[in-house]
């Protein structure tokens, strides 16, 4: 039920998660195979969470993100955003990818950020331009607003993609290994910048990575997924930003041993037969 409808009927509003993922099994049907990408995965994302999906390559992280994005329908389970079932893509869920070529090459930085604002009908040209420049400033690219993507470094292109997603002010920003293709120093810098952006706006982000240090750095909550097909191994709280090196090392160790243990979460451990 929508908030307004709930208020109108006078029903007590139960505080619920922004995003609910319940026992979601995702599969790909290819010509001669059925690939199970995730098996009965469940988690809840609350407003202002920096929720990280962490697991090895091929465990279904991108597939899960695609399903939350509305690009793929679960064969089992359900996904709800603000209580409404996710059935298609929408401007309430913006996606940032790993690839540097996610920008339109024939449009400037500003035009790239303006594009979804105008295309979705959210804002007329002048309003879109103002909002785009605002978010371009937030990612420290004001001097490059009129540059074209090919004139930018990989890190700068990723900043544009982040600004473009954030400018839509989605309920949740979906980030699929956005820094994985960057060199180590730029990657660290981008992680710091993302956290600084978050401090300023407290947006909700669902962030995918296969890097344990990155998950610890970014995540306020971290979901650990088993290898293919992805199942929930555990959900753990992240560290506060000022955590000691010892605390970071201890958490890294704990995540490492959980990821490489044989167990999966009890709720999903009993599985009637389905395996890819
Ligand atoms: P991750 O992002 O964690 O590396 P993916 O979600 O990309 O994993 O993939 C999960 C599983 O689904 C893998 O086994 C992968 O090979 C398979 N897969 C991904 N995309 C497709 C597709 N379009 N068709 C068939 N299988 C796919
Ligand atoms: Mg992936």
- Same domain, residue pair 72 and 190: yes
Q: Choose the residue to mutate in 27, 31, 35, 275 for probing ligand 1, maximizing ligand atoms within 8 Å of C-beta.
A: 35
pLDDT for the residue numbered 35: 96
- Residues spanned by the domain of 147: 93-169
- Same domain, residue pair 53 and 183: yes
Q: Are 131 and 123 in contact (CB under 8 A)?
A: yes
- Same domain, residue pair 211 and 108: no
Query: What are the Cα distances from residue 41, in Å, to 21, 34, 170?
Result: 7, 18, 23
Please report which confidence band the pLDDT of residue 12 belongs to, taking 50, 70 and 90 as the band edges. low
pLDDT tens-digit map of 186-238 = 999 999 999 999 999 999 999 999 999 999 999 999 999 999 999 999 999 99
Q: Is residue 5 part of a domain?
A: no
- Same domain, residue pair 260 and 222: yes
- Average of per-residue pLDDT across 154-182: 97
Please report which confidence band the pLDDT of residue 260 belongs to, taking 50, 70 and 90 as the band edges. confident
Q: Is residue 133 part of a domain?
A: yes
- SS3 string, 166-203, reads HHCCCCEEEEECCCCCCCHHHHHHHHHHHHHHHHHHCC
Going by alpha carbons, the residue nearest to atom 10 of ligand 1 is 60
pLDDT tens-digit map of 112-143 = 999 999 999 999 999 999 999 999 999 999 99
- Same domain, residue pair 46 and 151: no
- Same domain, residue pair 29 and 76: yes
Q: Which residues line ligand 1 (CB under 6 A)?
A: 28, 30, 35, 37, 55, 57-63, 228
Out of 118, 146, 169, a domain closes at 169
Give the count of domains, the chain. Answer: 2
Out of 120, 149, 169, a domain closes at 169
pLDDT for the residue numbered 24: 98
pLDDT for the residue numbered 160: 98
Supply the mean pLDDT for the chain.
Answer: 92
Out of 116, 138, 169, a domain closes at 169
């Amino acid at each position: 039920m929508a908030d307004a409808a709930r208020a109108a009927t006078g029903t007590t509003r139960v505080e619920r998660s922004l995003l609910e993922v319940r026992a979601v099994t995702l599969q790909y049907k290819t010509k001669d195979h059925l690939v199970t990408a995730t098996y009965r995965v469940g988690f809840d994302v609350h407003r202002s969470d920096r929720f990280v999906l962490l697991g090895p390559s091929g465990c279904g992280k991108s597939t899960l993100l695609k399903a939350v994005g509305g690009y793929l329908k679960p064969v089992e389970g359900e996904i709800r955003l603000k209580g409404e079932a996710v059935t298609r893509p929408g401007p309430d869920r913006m996606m940032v990818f790993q690839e540097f070529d996610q920008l339109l090459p024939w449009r400037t930085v500003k035009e790239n950020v303006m594009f979804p604002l105008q295309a979705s009908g959210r804002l007329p040209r002048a309003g879109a331009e103002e909002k785009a420049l605002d978010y371009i400033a937030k990612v420290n690219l004001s001097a490059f607003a009129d540059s074209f993507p090919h004139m930018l470094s990989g890190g700068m292109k990723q900043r544009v993609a982040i600004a473009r997603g954030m400018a839509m002010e989605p309920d949740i920003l979906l980030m699929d290994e956005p820094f994985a293709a960057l060199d180590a120093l730029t990657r660290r810098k981008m992680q710091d910048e993302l956290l600084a952006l978050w401090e300023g706006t407290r947006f909700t982000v669902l962030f995918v990575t296969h890097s344990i240090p990155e998950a610890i750095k970014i995540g306020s909550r971290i979901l650990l997924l088993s290898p293919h097909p992805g199942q929930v191994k555990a959900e753990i709280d992240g560290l506060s930003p000022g955590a000691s090196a010892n605390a970071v090392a201890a958490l890294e160790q704990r995540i490492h041993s959980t990821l490489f243990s044989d167990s999966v979460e009890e709720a999903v451990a009993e599985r009637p037969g389905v395996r890819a």
